[in-house]
Structure 1
Amino acid sequence: MRKELKLAYPVLMKKTDDGYYVEIPDFDIATQGSNVAEAMEMARDAIGLMGIDYQDDKKDLPEPYSIKFNEDEFDIETLVDINLAEYRRKLENKSVKKNCTIPYWLNEKAEKEGINFSKLLQEAVAKALGVSLK
């Protein structure tokens, strides 16, 4: 069984005119949200994306609290947790919209037969690649 990588990083939030500015010192990145809950969600997303980049580049993830920071400049200091394996699975299984074109008559016939275009395309691409859909 693969070990799940769960981490919690400190995030710093400062109230702005239109929400919250968020810094994640250990990754030297920032994001924002319209309220505290959204700011935490955006921080988790930023940490997840950076964490996956670090893993893909075979770089060690920074340790939480590896960077000193001055919390006096911020209104909120909290921790945001992330499970990088779960985040990666979610990201890799995210649906993306593809636009394709088929002849009108073929579309009409397929719709009358109740063909699910998305499912058919997924199955065809998986077959062409020799992979199975999860």
Structure 2
Amino acid sequence: MERDGDEIPQPTRSLDVEAAANQTVVLFEVWMPPFRDDMAERAVKKTLTIPKWLDELAVENNVNFSRVLQDGLKSHLGVSERSK
């Protein structure tokens, strides 16, 4: 909801919730910062294209493609860590 810009509803007091005889009111707390951090660090799969000769040379040299791409993007963008 935060990411989509949706309005986040205010919490309802448990005493104000009307439950039927076969229903139970459950209280839970949502603390977003740890979840946001976890989501930001989650790996995202990317598909890319490189010349065959470069792929073969990189494979021969045991290149970690993900690490090289991450390092290259950080260098290109002038960052070393995620800004919070």
For the criterion TM > 0.5, the same-fold answer is: yes
Say whether 1:101 aligns with 2:49.
yes
Give CA-to-partner distance per residue, 1:19-53, whole Å, 9 cap, x none: xxxxxxxxxxxxxxxxxxxxxxxxxxxxxxx3xx1
Aligned to 1:15: none
SS at match of 1:102: coil
Give the letter aligned to residue 114 of structure 1. N
The 8 Å contact of residues 19 and 25 in structure 2, kept in 1 or not, is answered as yes
Calculate percent identity across the aligned residue pairs. Answer: 30
Give matches, 1:11-90, under 5 Å: 50=1, 53=2, 62=10, 64-65=11-12, 68-72=16-20, 75-90=23-38
Aligned to 1:123: 71
The CA RMSD over aligned residues, in Å, is: 2.9
| Unmatched tracts of structure 2, length 5 or more | none
Alignment: residue pair count: 80
Give the letter aligned to residue 100 of structure 1. L
Structure number having the greater strand percentage: 1
Distance 2:20 2:12 in 1: 16
Distance 1:73 1:114 in 2: 64
Q: TM (normalized to structure 1)?
A: 0.48
Using a 3 Å threshold, how does the CA distance of structure 1 residues 129 and 117 change in structure 2: closer, same or farther?
Answer: same
Q: TM (normalized to structure 2)?
A: 0.72
Give CA-to-partner distance per residue, 1:52-99, whole Å, 9 cap, x none: x18x96x7872x325944321864432233221111111211211110
Higher relative contact order (CA 8 A, sep 6+): 1
Distance 1:106 1:129 in 2: 23
* Larger radius of gyration between Structure 1 and Structure 2: 2
